[in-house]
Amino acid sequence: MYALGAELIKKQDIVVTTVMEHHSNFVPWQQLAEKKQAKFQVVDITEDGKLNEELIMKHTKHAKIFAFTYVSNMLGTINWVSKIIKKVREQNPDIIILIDAAQAVPHKKVDVQELDCDFLVFSGHKMLAETGIGVLYGKKNLLNSMPPFLYGGDMINEVSIEKTSFASLPSKFEAGTINIAGIISLGAAIDYLSGLDMESVQEHEKELAARCIEELEKLGGITIYGPRDSFARSGVVSFTVDGIHAHDIAQILADKNICVRSGHHCTMPLHTRLGIAASTRASFYIYNDEKDIDALTAGIKEAKKLFRA
């Protein structure tokens, strides 16, 4: 936002994102549009939790930036990114496209050249690394055209009283002391995941999510959000239980050492769109198996009895 938007976005330009975004890929563009007096447009979802492609084409026709997620952290929706990018570029070749891949990179193969995105970002802590570390991929010509967004040590080429010149990529964007421990942990995580068959990882997660949905539906009184077809869903299952707040569900499960997340999951616009204040989210990864689903459903059964829901 700070470096890209500083030069690119002008008054009345159009910046587009979607209602399913994590706040980190929503709020910065919203604030950029407000600061620059640009137009901020948000693509809605369909009733089955997928991006409305007709609205994507409508909103991006004359847009400068389109930022959207590869995989929804709440709905579990896997967006057909390569198809979307191709269609958007056919009608607007000059648009800048950024992909939030934080929920994709740890779970599936991602090829930035195949996608033809301009920028792609992901975080380390979603892929078994430490917190506070992540990756920004950008096309070289765009990165070279952008000014630094922070100033300090190590991003300098030469300084004089009259002027300052900046280091070449990637140092231009690395002001101050780098997160050495985080970088080491990210490298270890990448090495570990690279040794796995990521297609098998994705299939494992999809199978667990499908079984979780099946078992939750047997309980009754539960609403599950996101696509039902396994092709379009990741290993994330968000749900609400009739008559019980998401935080109460999470607390009862936590007492049984079952880890879920409750709340709005940093997707308040999406929860507003769905007409709910909060949801409970079960997330499956390489360390989960069917026993975890059994424990989850048993815990929810107990919660329903306790609240007589």
Q: Which residues are marked as active site? A: 266
Q: Tell me how far apart the alpha carbons of residues 175 and 128 are, in angstroms, rounded to a whole number.
A: 25
Burial track 109-139 (b if 16+ CB lie within 10 A, e otherwise): ebeeeebebbbbbbbbbbbbbbeebbeebbb
Distances (CA, A) of 20 to 52, 225, 273: 11, 12, 9
Helix (H) or strand (E) holding 123: strand 119-123
Write down the residue that tokens 């570390």 correspond to: 133
Nearest of 77, 83, 108 to residue 97 by alpha carbon: 83
Contact assessment for residue 270 and residue 74, using Cβ atoms and an 8 Å cutoff: yes
